[in-house]
Copies of this chain bind each other. A is one copy, B any other.
Amino acid sequence: MALQNDLLLRTLRGEQTERTPVWMMRQAGRYLPEYMVLREKYGFFERCQTPELAAEITIQPVDIVGVDAAILFSDILVVPQAMGLEVQLIESKGPFLPDPIKTVDDLKRLRVPDVEESLGYVYSAIKLIKQELNERVPLIGFAGAPWTLLCYMVQGKGSKTFDEAKAFCYQQPEVAHQLLQMITDTTIAYLKGQVKAGADVVQIFDSWGGLLSPADFENLSLKYIRQIVAALKDEVPTIIFAKGAWHSLETMAATGAHGLGIDWCIDPKLARQFAGNNVTLQGNFDPAKLLSPIPVIEKEVKAMLAAFGPGRHIANLGHGILPNVPVDHARAFVDTVKNYVHA
């Protein structure tokens, strides 16, 4: 049975489509009252690990705001968890890892896990989601980029600068690369499993790639993302979203990824110039702008679509949707994209 709405897949493959597809990072989340009901009742990992809950949350924005793709409800930190680290997700406080990695000895506490065993609950969720979606829209699977996961695994919590994670890499580069390779190996197996279970696309989130200089981004991040893309890109379309790493759009495009996410701090035309013509760009609406009055949202979304031009563009935010965005504002974003006709 074929997908009823395959706009996302065709756009990622560079095919012409009748309109621009649209979804929103963190679309399955706190701005939806229906999500908040489930959040009141179940803990974060309970929601991730119970296929019925993960499926319900994943599908909510498809039903409620009408996006062109579902994205698996999960968290990038399930990978460090499967590798053997304790991860706590404290609502409204962010992640906390009580025993972070600091030395080469700490690597002994980690393993490259059997993903079927330790992350099988994700695959069960994907199978259920695919069944319940019933081919309405494609399902995006995802994982964190090795550098971003290292940030949390070393720093132990969120940070503006992740300077402890950086210091670890600068002071013990061999240990850092060993850790990055372990994360990479796990991530490749994990994403292959997601595809096998039914994910139609995979996205790699490098939330903290933009904290690195261009040279460090190549050395500590892109080197590993490249391995992941190489292992996946012949199976499904792949998207790299390295927030803030505008400087490396050209080298990211050269990985063979089908799509590159960009944030709102780069003009779409300049991003296209950097990335070249053989990759789809995804983004780049400022999430805070969804707090504007609806007529302003409509005007600004149209300006964004005009700046990207027709083809090879997936409309999205430049980062995750904020919890305090009214649902009708999110819907205005999605509807404006759906109704837009390129001049």
Binding site for B on A (CB under 8 A): 160-163, 166-167, 170-171, 210-214, 216, 244, 246-247, 264-267, 270, 286-289, 291-293, 296, 319, 322, 324
Contacts and interface: CB of A to CB of B under 8 A. Distances in A.
A125 B322 CA distance: 43
Protomer copies: 2
Contact of A213 (B210, B211, B264): B264
A288 B210 contact: no
B287 A163 contact: yes
A270 to B, nearest CB: 7
A322 B211 CA distance: 15
Given A162-B288, A163-B291, A214-B266, 19 more contacts: A161-B319, A161-B322, A163-B287, A163-B288, A163-B322, A163-B324, A166-B286, A166-B289, A166-B291, A170-B288, A170-B289, A170-B292, A171-B292, A171-B293, A210-B265, A213-B264, A213-B265, A214-B267, A246-B246
Contacts of A293: 170-171
Contacts of A214: 265-267
Contact of A267 (B162, B244, B247, B296): B247
